[in-house]
Amino acid sequence: MVLLTPFARMIPLPETTMRCRYSVVAACILASFGGVAEEFIERLEVQGDFRRLSVQNIAGSIAVLSTDDMQRSSAQHLDDVLNQLANVNFAAGASRGRFVQMRGIGERSEFIDVINPSVGVLIDGIDYSGLGISSIAHAEQLEVFRGPEATRFGTNAMAGMLNLTSKQPDFRRDGAVSATLANYNSWQLSGMVSDAISEQLAFSLTLDKQVSDGFIENTYLNRKDTNDIDELTARGRLLYRHSDQLQWQLIAHVIEQNNGYDAFSLDRNRTTLSDEPGKDKLSSKALALRSDYNGLSGVDLMWQLSWLSADSDYSFDEDWSFVGIRPGWEYSYFDRYLRSREQWTLDYRLVSDDEGRIGEHTDWVLGFYASGRELDLQRLRRAGSEFRQFDSSLYRDNLALYGETSTALSEQVTLIVGGRVERYKDEYTDSGELGIKQQHTMWGGKLSLNFQASEQAMIYTLLSRGYKVGGVNGEALSRAGDDGFSSLLQQATFEPETLVNAEFGVKGAAIDGSLVTRVAAFHMWRDAMQVKGWLNPDLGPEFAGFIDNAGRGRNYGIEMENRIVLHPSFTLHVNAGLLKSKLGPYVTQSGLDMTGRDQAHAPRFTYQLAGDWFLSEQLTLQASVQGKSGFYYSDGHNARSTSSELVNLRLTYQLEQWQFALWSRNALDKDQAVRGFYFGNDPRDEYAPHTYEQWGEPRRFGVTASYQF
């Protein structure tokens, strides 16, 4: 996308351009300057790939969201952003939605078993897969890679990758602060500053604090804050330019999350009856050291060494009710999961420059990747007056070699060949004195043929292969000795999954910038597909989850993103995705034959229709409609959501360096389900099975004031 930042740099502009103020789109600038406008347009580049290139020149379905794109729906969290994207969905089951699905593929929860993400998360090159993105405030950009990206990212990108980049250090002072007040007793205070310390040293720092009572009323406790939000995020960078050839960067992150978790209701609404509301806490710290060196002949060297430590506390009232709700039928359980995670990663890469090509027309990349991760779990469960504890530990190390070549076959045709070989080794132990060791060697890659029809249009064909590691079903092993659960002994482990993707895409733009379009059609074949299964032998409150391999699956469809300047004062954004997915041969533990059914959390239709309307020199109106069709909640049952449509509105007034915005998300107050289960949990109807759903946010409205300096 080609946009100005929400606060344009302080560049003297002609009078016609001043009418556009600081948040105008490229079309308005073009109307003022004609061909000279290019120097005032910020072109977004993909930072997560091997080379920084425009999204219009990279094969693959990639969306790059700028600050403007995230601001359009007044987004405060990743949940608010993902609804903009075609063929992207998410699941909550916690205080926030941190489990992402792309093209119908991705995990939906994490309890005892360690999840192996199909969609990974990187923040400033640090692996947050499984932890999610805590804050998007003042982010430089968010990149969304759809489809397998094994060559670049490895095992955590079988279905795609989210890559968030925080503010880069700038040797010119740049800063902004913003404050938000909203309903549900919500407020947010955030700020960003970047400046030079010396001629060689610069820094950037982003801080964000969010507080809200949440959207649940607990009538038993007479409280409205049992599902509250209380989050603090800090991200900083320190850049040292040793010379023109060498620069170092130190990156530091801190996250403190102390959210409540009381989301599911026996009455299947936003009113709960829990006497012991849970928590969703996270405390994490991360450091990374990066070096970029271009002093060698024909090759640039980049490496990054990172470390992350995270402790989480996730708990919930398992019965969703109180003692005395139905004597003789009721039960009282409380579940708590204490996790600790310690990891390090090293990514070491050689990238050819103009002098380091193989022959005259080939560029290349060669890299080495290593990581180690230790994951410890302590599950504390109270069942009535009985206390149960389960401890497990998993240590995983990964080693990988990867490479890619880009060969110009002619002035218009480029062939890209990439591959990655990765070996992982797991050592699992638990409190049942069980020890399991696993190791596998996996491979992925891509083959792409790109045809640059003109400077504004590219056509590509892409064949890529991704993979995801296998693992151990700790919950199945811990429950196999219980009455009715002996069949879980057959589910001790699960195998790696692989995916092959065939894709055809077109990317184009009008010379005057009035149209930018990207369209991709894809067909994906999944092998040894990992699905979430559940065993509930007597349909009561006791059940166990496990990960199973379900043979083959297919996912195919089309997605498009368009930006159309209909008038110098009005720009239209149209994103849409069509998706068809099928489960391969799979029969659940309860005997349900799921063969041929749609995969879980894979809506057949997703879309966003958004407009930016510049009403005057200072006033801008932005509106969007985001929707998705209904989808199945699980591969283990047939409960499904209804379709949803969300309307977002934002009215912005710009006054020099100040910006004031009045906004509303989900302005029509529509229900949107973000997680669902099907089982019996209500003693008042003798545990008859129902579809229980967690709802996304209701109508939100607020005001935001921002100041750029």
pLDDT digits (tens, 9 = 90+) for 602-650: 999 999 999 999 999 999 999 999 999 999 999 889 999 999 999 999 9
Q: Is the pLDDT of residue 693 over 80?
A: yes
Cβ atoms within 10 Å of 665's Cβ, excluding its own: 25
Return mean pLDDT, the chain: 89
Q: Is the pLDDT of residue 159 over 90?
A: yes
d(CA 290, CA 300): 13
Please report which confidence band the pLDDT of residue 40 belongs to, taking 50, 70 and 90 as the band edges.
very low
Letter string b/e over residues 692-705, b meaning 16 or more CB atoms within 10 A of that residue's CB: bbbbbbebbebebe
Q: Is the pLDDT of residue 483 over 90?
A: no
pLDDT tens digit string along 466-477? 999 998 888 787
Q: What percent of the chain has pLDDT over 90?
A: 75
Give me 498's structure tokens.
């692989």
pLDDT tens digit string along 251-268? 999 999 999 999 999 999
pLDDT tens digit string along 631-644? 999 988 999 999 99
Strands 53-54 and 413-430: unpaired
> What pLDDT score was predicted for residue 475?
79
> What pLDDT score was predicted for residue 636?
85
Domains of the chain with bracketed CATH: 1-43 (no CATH), 44-708 (2.40.170.20)
3-state SS record for 528-585:
CCEEEEEECCCCCCCCEEEEEECCEEEEEEEEEEEEEEEECCEEEEEEEEEEEEEECC
Contact 605, 630 (CB under 8 A): no
d(CA 117, CA 67): 26
d(CA 103, CA 177): 36
d(CA 650, CA 638): 38
Give me 328's structure tokens.
């003789």
Nearest to 111 by CA among 332, 392, 306, 446: 392
Strands 333-352 and 362-383: antiparallel
| Model pTM score | 0.91
Nearest to 120 by CA among 78, 142, 153: 153
Residue 283: exposure state from Cβ atoms within 10 A (0-12, 13-18, ≥19): middle
> For 45-71, what is the mean pLDDT?
90
Of 44-58, 145-159, 554-568, the least confident: 44-58
C-alpha separations of 401 from 445, 498, 532 in Å: 11, 18, 31
d(CA 12, CA 339): 53
Nearest to 505 by CA among 464, 552, 466, 467: 464
DSSP state of 298: T
